[in-house]
Structure 1
Amino acid sequence: MFLWRALRSEGFPFVKKILLFALPTRLGGALGVQVILAALAPPGQAMLAEDFHRVLLSRALPAAVDGPDAAPAPEPLPSPGVPPTRLDELRKHVSKSALGMEIGPFHRPICPKREGFNCLTVDILPRDQLLQAYAEDKDVIPFQEHIEEVDVLLSSGLFASVAAYTQGQEARVQKAEGSLSYLISSHNFEHLPDPIAFLDDAATLLADGGFLTMAIPVGSRCFDCFRPLSTTGQLIDAHTSGRVKTTLGAIFDQSASAATHSGGQTIGDRNYDVAQVAVDACGGMIDESSFGALQFTHEFGHSGGIHSFVFNPYSFLLIIEDLQACGFLPLLRVQEVIDRPGQEFIVHIVKISEASRSPLPLDAARRTELLRQAIAYYIDDLNATRQLQNSP
């Protein structure tokens, strides 16, 4: 019922409870937003479109803060039925004149300098080496001119790398701490060996009121569809052990469980037939030889393409709330988690001031609800794919 309580706290009328909870369910589980909207007449769809956008995945916006520390108010939503484009959503808290940073944009930057964005580019290689490394990649060749000049080479942690950049003669900022108005990360978070360290660095780099915006793949809507969701404890272990490298276990999990569709169909949303999906099993067979190859990759190769962790919108929110309840990430607040069509969800996280920080305990009822929602979301996606088998 946390969703209903969140709606009521925003002042929405009682009739919304009927629309949310009186619809038929399947398999005794909760319906996804898209299914609910499809079950409503057009007037009901229009009425719910704005509401779901704000409160579906979060209890309420951060408490209001007066004065210069106040987080920017949410922008007006588009007309019902016309959701913002992916770029518009990712740029929601971006100003072209304000200094920001984009992590690993490669050939598809979200805030490119050529369009006037005052945005620092972070990557593990400079532009000329990226061009050389992907000179024959058919997916990259048409977009080579879009590859940005790299400002910050990521040689260690994010904050340390930016701090090193500020010492250069051509640096556009002389102090790393509190220097950024926004930080954009698209399909990066799931690769990180230590996501908590990344979030800590983001909080240090952002000015008060600045935003970290991330696009993160949904595990059940990509090649991770057979992998279990990651847990808070796994992120805590990664952080407390000071992990700086993708683990052999993560390399094995992706190599053994990466899913492909037998018909060549891309697993890029929930519209695939799970009965036609099979795992790669390390190239076809798991044996001592294939495991030895994984060990070699872990020791000497590049494992940047490995998903160290697997999320969906609710499991991500659960992990963040767990971490904050335990005292991690004290200056970050999740403002929105947006479940978009396709294979990803988008997260907007705001940096608050030191004066605004407060404990964020997590009670059993809230944690139970998020666990149920995370599991139901995963099952709902797989059930949706099974329906394709019975389609005419």
Structure 2
Amino acid sequence: MQYESCDAKNRADYILANIDKDGIGIEIGPSHRPLAPKRMGYRTHVIDHMTRDDLKIKYENANVALENIEEVDFVWRGESYAELTQQSGYYDWIIASHVIEHVPDMIGFLTDCDEILKDEGVLSLAIPDSRFCFDHFRPVSSLGSVIDASLEGRKLNSPGMVAEFLLNAVKRGGTITWPRNNTNEFSFIHGIEGVRNAVKKVTEERAYIDVHVWCFTPHWFRLMIEDLYALGFINMREIDFFDPGTHEFYITLGSHGKGPGMSRLALLKRVNIEQLRADAAVQCSNE
């Protein structure tokens, strides 16, 4: 799926706010929309799931700028990033835009990133706000499910996860992301037969089907990161956070982070406000 972004300049400003252009970094899965492209002087190593030539074939009919697809330095096949890059404690920064919600093992992903970053390195994330994209009718992901997925060493998306994602994916006013003041009608993206076939494929063939595994609102993600750190599952904490009022939010993490600067209870109250606003938006659309 392609994402409709907020103003490109502002979006890049948020994501690059803590990126040192003179440092060396990784961009994970930039596809045809790199945020720190080599052609602009960034010392970027690209990780993606296929080569540049294969990405150009993938997107040749997608009405995108194929010339923006950069040379892929590391084709990821499921190994850790340290194994893939043959580096540890090496990179100054990592950018991952709309990546973390796709990974079956979120804790494993964060640990992989931390392993290849320097002590003062940063992980800059752009994450969809589930209230304002096709995940709208799905609940936020629980801390327990994130921990359990990691302890199980999950590599593939389960049939249940694929079913949940596909059954509930919606458009609003014909788009898969929308502004926060949108009150247009919802419509489902996938038909039941297609969902049934996808679940069968995962069940019988153990196929990997790319879905949003995890759903977050901005403060729910902030709270989850702090909880995972407090419980000893990750070594990263929040460095910076931006919620510009669009369909996505931005957060920078690192092992030298100090956390959100809010109590756990204060974060939970903000989560509650976010959910109440989402419920009110649905109510308005039904009146």
Unaligned runs of 5+ in 2: 1-8
Cα distance between partner residues in 2 of 1:389 and 1:291: 29
State the Cα deviation string for residues 326-366 of structure 1 (Å, max 9, x = none).
11213x2211221122110000112239xxx9xx9xxxx94
Q: Which one of 241, 245, 261 corresponds to residue 156 of structure 2?
A: 245
Equivalent residue in structure 1 for 2:231, among 320, 323, 326? 326
Partner of 1:214: 125
Instruction: Return closer, same or farther for 1:376/1:238 CA change in 2, 3 Å cut-off.
Output: same
Residues 85-133 of structure 1, C-alpha deviations (whole Å, 9 max, x = no match): 2111211122222110000000000000011100000001000111112
Contact 2:46 / 2:74 at 8 angstroms: preserved in 1? yes
Mapped partners of 2:285, 2:56: distance in 1: 41
- Counterpart selection for 1:338 from 233, 242, 251: 242
Q: Normalised by the size of structure 2, how large is the TM-score?
A: 0.87
Matched, 1:135 2:66: no
Per-residue deviation, residues 135-192 of structure 1 (Å, max 9, x unmatched): 2122x2xx100001000111123424xx3444xxxxxxxxx11110000000000000
Corresponding position: 1:277 with 2:186: yes
Q: Distance in 2 between matches of 1:244 and 1:229?
A: 21
Question: Which is higher, the Rg of structure 1 or of structure 2?
Answer: 1
Shift of 1:295: 2.2
Distance in 1 (alpha carbons) for counterparts of 2:252 and 2:217: 15
Cα distance in 2 for residues equivalent to 1:293 and 1:186 = 26
Counterpart for residue 90 of structure 1: 15
The equivalent of 1:110 in structure 2 is 35
| 1:231 positional shift | 0.9
1:318, 1:371 within 8 Å by CA — same for their partners in 2? yes
Asked if the contact 1:273–1:386 (Cα under 8 Å) also holds between the matched residues in 2, the reply is no
Q: Which runs of 5+ in 1 are unaligned?
A: 1-83, 167-175
Residue 155 (str. 1) matches residue 77 (str. 2): yes
Match of 2:142 in 1: 231
- What is the aligned-residue RMSD (CA, Å)? 2.5
| Equivalent residue, structure 2, for 1:72 | none
In 2 relative to 1, CA 145–300 (structure 1 residues): closer, same or farther, beyond 3 Å? farther
The question of whether the paired residues in 2 share the 8 Å contact of 1:122 and 1:154 is answered with: yes
Give the paired residue count.
Answer: 276
- TM-score, length basis structure 1: 0.65
Q: Is 1:316 matched up with 2:208?
A: no
2:200 paired with 1:291: no
Question: Which residue among 188, 206, 209 is the counterpart of 1:303?
Answer: 209
Paired residues of 1:180 and 1:205 also in contact (CA < 8 A): yes
For 2:169 and 2:123, how far apart are their aligned partners in 1?
A: 29
Per-residue CA shift, 1:177-227, capped at 9, x if unaligned? Answer: 111000000000000000100111111111011110100000001000100
Cα shift readout 1:233-266 (whole Å, capped 9, x = no counterpart): 01001000000112212111111000123x4255
Cα distance in 2 for residues equivalent to 1:297 and 1:218: 27
Pairing 1:381–2:281 present = no
Q: 2:27 & 2:237 partners in 1: Cα distance? A: 20
Distance in 1 (alpha carbons) for counterparts of 2:195 and 2:246: 32
Q: Judge conservation of contact 1:222–1:269 (CA < 8 Å) in 2.
A: no
